[in-house]
Amino acid sequence: MGNKRGRFSGRLGFVAAAAGSAVGLGNIWRFPYETGENGGAAFLLIYLICTIIIGLPVMLGEIAVGRKSQMDAYGSYRNLGNKNWGMVGAFGIICGIMILSFYNVVAGWAFGYFIQIVFDGLLVEGKGNYGNYFNSYVADFWDNLIFSFVFMVLTAFIVIRGIKAGIEMASKVLMPLLFVILITLIVYALTLDNAMEGVKFYLLPDFSAVNASTIYSALGQAFFSLSLGMGALITYGSYLKKKENLFKAAAVVTLADVSVAFLAGLLIFPLVFSQGQEPTAGPGLVFVALPTIFEQMGPLMGRIVGGSFFLLLCFAALTSTISLLEVPVAYLVDERKLKRKKVVFGLAALVFVIGLPSMLSAGAVDFFTNFMHYEGKNKSFLDVISDLFSEVGLVFGGFMLTLFITFKWKTKKMTKELSEGNPGYAKSILKSLVNFSITVLSPIILGVIFVITVLQKFFGVSLF
Ligand code: TRP
């Protein structure tokens, strides 16, 4: 069976694919609005700390588990643990399906914006009030349906092509382009009036705004952004050869992910402040803040630059949706011995259908738009799925991974796996730090945060 599974061509291929998975809407869409809602610089700092002390070690753990077992997420937990541990993998696979169901909807928005800026009159019609434009845009059923359908089809086609030709290729070309356009836009944004107010908000921490919910939002963001907690990196790790240096790979992926998020913030906040908007606007933030500068660039340049930006955002999202889809695909191909092509189409269709209520939850249907009420807010269906699976679910998945390595698989074996392709690892200080995080720091923080989040979000208990 080992021979029939796909493989990355080498470390660069893996790094490109894993960085492609990590860098996505999480960095450019979600990170700025989370930062804006949670007080700015203090959130950025906590997010960075979570990424380094918890995210990176958990990432190493996932990749090591995957490469050791050479199997899908469920198979890895079962193989290195037992059937019961397999349930953790299965839970991750379900999280992946649910996350993809709403992620694809947001990707559809980005895709729609690309089309409307380049081929239609977004920069004319939205003039002066991109907030209204966004609200009516996402409330339109047909726009949502068509664009997220196209997006799902694109994802499926890449995943069908397999590991090397599909996933790896797409990531290698698109990632570098994204950096270039982000930096160009930042340079432009920083020249605008009042831009420095945004930079201050983003970089000068005000700790009075920090509470338990800031911390769990930051941790949830770190997990989501690094694609952790549901077996995506177990799956990608399983396509790696033994000779690759996993620590280096994980470090590069983390760095790429953090850099793009950081740059996205450095672009958005100067814009938001220079336009006198509120940083707390929520999920519409990038869709509202950016079109204004594109408009100011004039009709032709606006189309070119604005179009490129949203196109690249789509590409970043695409290398993430393929990783989300690959997790359940790998499970069905590895465990059930089904044909890749059939599995991909079947799952893509299923995920699309599960995503329908999310599609209708940004104003199209009131029942889904005001689906629940907690944390003092009305939550849409999309919000609820996102909270449940991409905040609570991933943190839980990460927590279980640390327990799995600590009590079942054992750090010794993890160290052995991480030493393949990196002979000095076992004796390095890094090893001690990673093991301390996996056995003590991460399980405690993740466990506590998980419990607090669940109580606070869904049972209305306010502890802080
Ligand atoms: N990390 C991606 C982003 O930031 C989203 C993503 C892709 C993801 N694969 C994942 C999130 C797996 C959690 C788990 O946009």
**Residue of the nearest CA to atom 13 in ligand 1?**
227
CA of 350 relative to ligand 1 center, distance in Å: 19
CA of 463 relative to ligand 1 center, distance in Å: 29
Cβ atoms 206, 39 nearer than 8 A: yes
CB-based contacts of 158, cutoff 8 Å, min separation 6: 166, 167, 170, 318, 322
pLDDT at site 462: 67
**440 to each of 53, 262, 406, 445, 446, how far by Cα in Å?**
11, 28, 9, 9, 10
pLDDT at site 4: 63
**38 to each of 124, 216, 269, 278, how far by Cα in Å?**
32, 11, 13, 12
| Structure-token pair, residue 64 | 């090591």
**Residue of the nearest CA to atom 7 in ligand 1?**
320
pLDDT at site 5: 77
pLDDT at site 181: 86
Cβ atoms 39, 214 nearer than 8 A: yes
Cβ atoms 72, 238 nearer than 8 A: yes
**Residue of the nearest CA to atom 6 in ligand 1?**
227
Cβ atoms 261, 55 nearer than 8 A: no
Q: Is the CB of 324 under 6 A from ligand 1?
A: yes
How many other CB atoms are there within 10 angstroms of residue 306's CB atom? 24
Residue to mutate (ligand 1; options 51, 103, 158; most atoms within 8 A of CB):
103
pLDDT at site 460: 74
CA of 447 relative to ligand 1 center, distance in Å: 21
pLDDT at site 166: 64
Q: Over the chain (464 residues), what is each successive 10-residue block's mean pLDDT?
A: 66 85 95 94 96 98 97 97 97 97 97 93 84 92 93 92 69 77 91 94 90 88 97 95 92 95 96 91 90 87 89 90 95 94 96 96 93 89 93 95 98 97 95 98 96 82 65
Going by the DSSP 8-state scheme, the letter that residue 374 receives in this structure is E
